[in-house]
Structure 1
Amino acid sequence: MSGKKNGNHYNLKALCCGKDLEDDGRILGCPECRDPHLLRASYKKKQLKTGAMEEGLYRFSDWLPIQRELKGSSAPVSYKSEGLAKALGMNNLWITFNGWWPEKGASMKTGTFKECEAYAVCARIPENTEDVLVVASAGNTARAFMRVCSENNIPLVVCVPEDNLNSLWSDAPGADCIKVIACASGSDYFDAIALSNKLCEGAGFYPEGGAKNPARRDGMGTTVLSAAIEIGKIPEFYFQAVGSGTGAIAAWEAALRLEEDGNFGRNKMKLMVSQNVPFQIIHDSWKADSRTLLGLDNNEARQQSQIINAKVLSNRKPPYSLPNGLYDALKASGGDVLLADNEEAEKAALLFEQSEGNDISPAAAVAVASLIKALESRQVHKNALVMLNITGGGMGRYQKEHTTAPTVADLVFSTDQEVSDVIEQVQKLF
């Protein structure tokens, strides 16, 4: 291992005012700034040095805002595509795979790059913290945090839509320190976020923070670090499907650090993010050149989230508008927002499995479909240096090779449940 971290290798910079802040492992914003903003980690080491793959995610520990290292992590795996590249007529396609593919060294047991954020966020929390971490999720994030917290004895409550509970499968029973609460059938990811906010008003609970958590972003940014190391330079184009867009913001921030490093070139990596039709609020806002998200009726949003196959892409309040959020990242990178419907994504998933040899998640399939469409429209040249972030894969294979079981919610709440009721009932679980 590269050695235990104690947090001395970084500080946090408030992007609203430029103030440097010491990290207590839970801070999500500058205490003196009221306007929406992000904190960004500033690392003492400006040039990227990585450890061995055996160190898992912590091979990137110099560029992770962490206090310690946890057991069980896996790093993203990047390789130059042959099968899919040939099928698409591409010469320089690089795939970053996050999931279960032991032959390639990919051993994320939850099958998703949400493990990258979970191992980073949880390693940022000081050891022996007694308060309970609260995470809102559409499914994949919850599954990742449940595994990490269960293996490392970190108290956790995950809040998910009841209809998405089947995404919380596991091959082992969760530890007693893990509790699952759900918002009733018919709700969506935003309802899960609202439920988590209610719980965090109670003593003893604290929010993970989503995009505001610098460890979440830098954990997901390791996908770009992985690709840059293998390629030897910053990619020209970065493809990923998005729900909140936090992973794309993370990719942009990682590319900025690589530019500053100087050993990977100084080109701007274009963010090419995609959404699953008809849930396309980011796409429609971007195409209208609107920093402000266009309006989306709550009931319409819930209906759209039921239609799309990639349920995790259904965030109706993404960090799009805030300074240094997704809108700014797209503008700064010269990127774009693309669309793929369920049928296009299903065809793309089949093509990937046939050409590369592993199954991919519905969200990753949306990214592959958008790459195909970008090539067909000549928005991306077939000789371009492209990084395709497969955010989840091998889940089907993992479930065939292991005995898994779904998770049952400890409590189910209506969307209009009183704050005091939520807090009181969840406190009784502990």
Structure 2
Amino acid sequence: MNFAPTKYRLVSVSSAAEFEDEGWTLDYSGDETPSLIRAEYEKKELNIREELPGLYRFADWLPIKTILAGSGSPVTYKSEGLAKELGLENLYITFNGYWPEKGAEMRTGSFKECEAYSVCARLSGISDKILVVASAGNTARAFASVCSKNKIPLLLCVPEDNLDALWFDHPVDPCVKLIASQKGADYFDAIHLSNIVCTHPQFLPEGGAKNVARRDGMGTTVLSAVTTIGEIPHYYFQAVGSGTGAIAAWEANLRFIEDGKYGNKMMKLMVSQNHPFVPIADAYVADSRDLFPFDDDEARRQVEIINAKVLSNRKPPYSLAGGLYDALKATDGEVLIADNNEAEMAAQMFKELEGADVEPAAAIALATLINSVKSGKIEKDKIIMLNITGGGGQRFRKEHKIYHLKPEIVFPIDPDPAVVIRRVLGLFKPDETLVV
């Protein structure tokens, strides 16, 4: 498909310095303090590109160079069943996952496909290095699927306890390799493993929240909602691990205000965490720009308890300029908490009233919405966007033959860096397969 790369420049949040993207720029070298960078698009008004498939209908506000095969797109609709149960007049659900009747075709069941299809489309043609992604599960599944379908070399780093998240409806291409941190490790340990690998020049760090393509890919959930509703919502509900999706929502909101067609409201970010793992909530409720010290063993114990394992980031992009703290402050946002039981009841309610299964993280967001309605925290006539970040996975696995990805190597929590690099370099041989 012929596609002209999207035109944009990069800008530092802290210094406002503008500069060109050198292909995989993750930060601005002139900044004296840690800061995110943003993409400033040439097209200030968003035009839906109906001629492009899936996610790429939002290409005007994606920092991409090409169109990749197989993408789905967030789908927004006005709730009836759940809205009636909660007494809400304007509840809109943005569904990311598998729900063919709604037009939702994300075959990994997660909005992480949004970031994967954006990041990999930014990568196109600029590097012969191997992309490295650390993940608690859903992100790894999304990147593995996208890279497998488009023959993009990829190394995944995932905690061994989270490997059940790596399911697919197709055999994964050998260009994708998986390594894991041993049982008892968490997402932070997987990040540590990926950082070791990326000290070798053959590997390219995906960049996480620092990658503008990741954030703007996730921001398509808001693009879907606003263009469907016709105006910017009053409230935005989403569960967070890193908070990158909430940062992306704030940035999309700012672009819509500049666009001018959808009003000038600033959505109130209502982000949530799974009790007892609540480092963002602890810091923000205390109005601290810095996260509080976290004992590693206690953090791992808490992660074992929570059902929404994907929300277990110990080092989120919270403090830096343009990060989650700034996003919450700018939107008068709140950090809410729900436990496993509340989330399970919320998931059952969604299934009964809306008709689809949802992932544990999405259930946490819904549980906090329910609690906010019951407590009178939100006005029932306001426009509410509920970001269902993952759903339909249970149905998808029932309806399709499923393949699982297993690790080539399982490393200890504190591995020898030289051993890691030597063994990982030996993985990328064309005759190896990963699917069982």
Normalising by the smaller structure, the TM-score range is over 0.9
| Residue type at the aligned position of 2:328 | L
TM-score w.r.t. the length of structure 2 is: 0.96
Match of 2:85 in 1: 87
Aligned pairs for 1:279-318 (under 5 A) are: 279-318=277-316
**Is residue 381 from structure 1 mapped to residue 379 from structure 2 by the alignment?**
yes
| Residue type at the aligned position of 1:109 | R
Matched residue pairs, number? 428
Deviations 1:303-327 (A, max 9, x none): 1111000000000111111111001
Distance in 2 (CA, whole Å) between partners of 1:398 and 1:105 is 14
SS at match of 1:420: helix
Aligned pairs for 1:176-325 (under 5 A) are: 176-325=174-323
Cα contact 2:4–2:65 (8 A) shared by 1:
yes
Deviations 1:274-317 (A, max 9, x none): 00000001011111010110121111100111100000000011
Q: Give 1:21 shift.
A: 2.2
Q: Which runs of 5+ in 1 are unaligned?
A: none
Distance in 2 (CA, whole Å) between partners of 1:56 and 1:177 is 24
| Residue type at the aligned position of 2:280 | I
Q: Give 1:53 shift.
A: 8.1
> Hey, which bits of structure 1, 4+ residues long, moved more than 4 A?
none
CA, structure 1 residues 128+331, in 2 after alignment: closer, same or farther (shift >3 Å)?
A: closer
Match of 1:72 in 2: 70
Q: Give 1:128 shift.
A: 6.7
Deviations 1:119-163 (A, max 9, x none): 000000132732000000000000000000001111000100000
Distance in 1 (CA, whole Å) between partners of 2:117 and 2:214 is 9
Distance in 1 (CA, whole Å) between partners of 2:399 and 2:52 is 22
Cα contact 1:220–1:247 (8 A) shared by 2:
yes
| Residue type at the aligned position of 1:138 | A
Deviations 1:62-106 (A, max 9, x none): 100111111110110000000110111111000000000011110
Q: Give 1:54 shift.
A: 6.1
| Residue type at the aligned position of 1:106 | A
Distance in 2 (CA, whole Å) between partners of 1:311 and 1:416 is 21
Match of 1:6 in 2: 5
Q: Which runs of 5+ in 2 are unaligned?
A: 429-436
SS at match of 1:255: helix
Distance in 2 (CA, whole Å) between partners of 1:309 and 1:331 is 28
Cα contact 2:178–2:407 (8 A) shared by 1:
yes
Cα contact 1:161–1:185 (8 A) shared by 2:
yes
Deviations 1:2-37 (A, max 9, x none): x51324x11111223222222233211112335211
Distance in 2 (CA, whole Å) between partners of 1:412 and 1:428 is 14
Aligned pairs for 1:361-380 (under 5 A) are: 361-380=359-378
Deviations 1:367-395 (A, max 9, x none): 00000001111111111110000000000
CA, structure 1 residues 277+53, in 2 after alignment: closer, same or farther (shift >3 Å)?
A: farther
**Is residue 110 from structure 1 mapped to residue 84 from structure 2 by the alignment?**
no
Match of 2:407 in 1: 409
Which 10-residue stretch deviates more, 245-254 or 400-409?
Answer: 400-409
**Is residue 38 from structure 1 mapped to residue 36 from structure 2 by the alignment?**
yes
Cα contact 2:113–2:139 (8 A) shared by 1:
yes
Cα contact 2:23–2:126 (8 A) shared by 1:
no
Cα contact 1:5–1:69 (8 A) shared by 2:
no
Distance in 2 (CA, whole Å) between partners of 1:164 and 1:330 is 29
SS at match of 2:193: helix
Cα contact 1:25–1:67 (8 A) shared by 2:
no
SS at match of 1:429: coil
Distance in 1 (CA, whole Å) between partners of 2:398 and 2:382 is 36
Deviations 1:256-280 (A, max 9, x none): 0001111000011000000000000
Cα contact 1:276–1:341 (8 A) shared by 2:
yes
> How well do the aligned residues superpose, as a CA RMSD in angstroms?
1.1
Which 10-residue stretch deviates more, 49-58 or 147-156?
Answer: 49-58
Q: Give 1:51 shift.
A: 1.8
Distance in 2 (CA, whole Å) between partners of 1:39 and 1:194 is 23
Q: Paired residue for 2:352, among 351, 354, 367?
A: 354
State percent identity of aligned pairs.
59
Distance in 1 (CA, whole Å) between partners of 2:24 and 2:208 is 12
Distance in 2 (CA, whole Å) between partners of 1:53 and 1:384 is 33
Cα contact 1:96–1:389 (8 A) shared by 2:
yes
SS at match of 1:42: strand
| Residue type at the aligned position of 2:142 | A
Match of 1:165 in 2: 163
| Residue type at the aligned position of 1:295 | P
Match of 1:343 in 2: 341
Cα contact 1:53–1:75 (8 A) shared by 2:
no
Which 10-residue stretch deviates more, 46-55 or 163-172?
Answer: 46-55
Distance in 2 (CA, whole Å) between partners of 1:179 and 1:138 is 16
Cα contact 2:347–2:358 (8 A) shared by 1:
yes
Match of 1:150 in 2: 148
| Residue type at the aligned position of 2:236 | Y
Match of 1:139 in 2: 137
Distance in 2 (CA, whole Å) between partners of 1:224 and 1:203 is 36
Distance in 1 (CA, whole Å) between partners of 2:223 and 2:301 is 37
Q: Paired residue for 2:19, among 2, 16, 21?
A: 21
